[in-house]
Amino acid sequence: MKVLRLNGVIIFALMMLQGCGGGGGDSGDDNTTPIPETAEKTFTVKLINIDATQVSNGEAIELETDMISSTGTVMVSQ
């Protein structure tokens, strides 16, 4: 169960890194479409610390996070 929860945290962190916000453009009369620029970004995510306690008694749960990391590449076209 702990590993599943930890995997969920890592997947959530990766999804947050891949998210990209966009802004609105001006409403000018220019009908030309700009050529999209593509950039390749490489990232590494490493989990350093997790603070967890048992709900039933409030005792701390020790989790070892030494081997939890992930890398990836994202292609962004803008």
Rounded distance between C-alpha atoms, residue 11 and residue 27, angstroms: 37
Q: What integer pLDDT is reported at residue 27 of this predicted model?
A: 57
As a whole number of Å, the end-to-end CA separation of the chain is: 39
The model carries a pTM of: 0.37
Q: What integer pLDDT is reported at residue 33 of this predicted model?
A: 78
Q: What integer pLDDT is reported at residue 13 of this predicted model?
A: 73
Q: What integer pLDDT is reported at residue 57 of this predicted model?
A: 93
Phi, then psi, of 15 in degrees rounded to 5:
-65, -35
pLDDT tens string, the chain, 78 residues long: the values are 677 777 777 777 777 666 654 444 555 555 677 788 888 989 898 888 888 999 999 999 988 888 888 999 988 887
